Amino acid sequence: MVSRALDVLLLGPPGAGKGTQAKRIAAAFEVLHISTGDMLRDEVAKGSGLGQEAKEYMNRGDLVPDALVGKMLTKLLHSRRGALGCVYDGYPRTTAQEALLEDLLAELNRRVDVALYLDVPDRELLARITGRRSCPSCGAVYHVATQPPRTEGVCDACGTTLVQRDDDKAAVVRERLKVYRKHTAPLLKLYEDRGILREVDGAVNPDEVFKRLREAMGSIGK
């Protein structure tokens, strides 16, 4: 458990393992897991106005506009002021989002403590994403080859039928990778300049990635 709020960013391209590792970090440090992708998918599933608007961008591999995502994040952080910190999975993705996060954390007398970048070669990303299967009910994530569920197509945790995300088709994934390189990868330099970027090889097995992430965090969060 952390003695003061801990705010950790997980950065990396689509399929780098941000969601997989964010869940582990959240459990280990007892911080809130914030996945803007999961939040947007929830809105799509509910059929809300935000979900209907976001769906079009998501299904073609584009970023949802900053203003929409920013509103969602602001509401969440304001409602969870008492949290011991957060691990941000998929946020920020643009410089405008980065500025908003900084402002929101400053209001809470907090700041980003560390930005963890998962480095995975492109050839592996496509295989990971196209083989991913997700549980629409509890959010558990599997891979048909490397992390299959005990019963094919069924979530180990809650028994729900697994699905392939609409944006996990190869053509959309290629677009997501392009968008990542254009809008999100430049943020790495910003965190490097602040001295809080830690790069970790994300192309090893998930247990090893987690071990290396913890090592890269050093005394942060202890």
The answer to whether residue 23 is catalytic is no
Residues 19 and 48 sit within 8 Å (Cβ to Cβ) = no
The answer to whether residue 41 is catalytic is no
**Tokens 């960013």 belong to residue:** 9
Alpha-carbon span 90 to 18, nearest angstrom: 7
Cβ neighbourhood burial of 67 (10 Å; 0-12, 13-18, 19+): exposed
Alpha-carbon span 56 to 68, nearest angstrom: 13
Give the helix/strand (H/E) hosting 105: helix 95-107
Site string for ligand AP5, 98-127 (x = CB under 6 A): ------------------------------
- Residue 63 in contact with ligand AP5, rule: CB under 6 A: yes
Site string for ligand AP5, 30-59 (x = CB under 6 A): ------xx--x----------------xx-
Active-site residues, by number, are: 18, 93, 132, 165, 176
Give the footprint of ligand AP5 on this chain (CB under 6 A): 12, 14-20, 36-37, 40, 57-58, 61-64, 69, 90-91, 93, 97, 128-129, 131-132, 141-143, 146-147, 167, 176, 202, 205-206, 209
